């Protein structure tokens, strides 16, 4: 029972955390401020030989 209780609390905590991420749009903020700029910098630094 204790284990189940701990799992329930853990799940509740996880769900709350996810809900906060969802509501405060933290996933897209991470994309906007961190991930996309990082990837864009990488893409821009590549040397591409363009062909038509």
Question: Which positions lie near other proteins, rule CB under 8 A?
Answer: 18-19, 22-25, 27-29, 31-32, 35-36, 39-40, 42-43, 48-52
The conformation of residue 40, written as its DSSP 8-state character, comes to H
Which is nearer to other proteins, 3 or 48 (by Cβ)? 48
CB of 11 to other proteins, least distance (A): 13
CB of 31 to other proteins, least distance (A): 5
Q: 42 near 48, Cβ under 8 Å?
A: no
CA quadruple 23, 26, 27, 29: dihedral sign: positive
């Amino acid at each position: 029972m204790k284990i189940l209780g701990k799992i329930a609390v853990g799940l509740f905590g996880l769900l709350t955390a996810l809900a906060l991420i969802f509501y405060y749009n933290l996933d897209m903020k991470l994309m906007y401020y961190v991930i996309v700029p990082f990837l864009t910098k990488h893409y821009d630094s590549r040397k591409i030989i363009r062909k038509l």
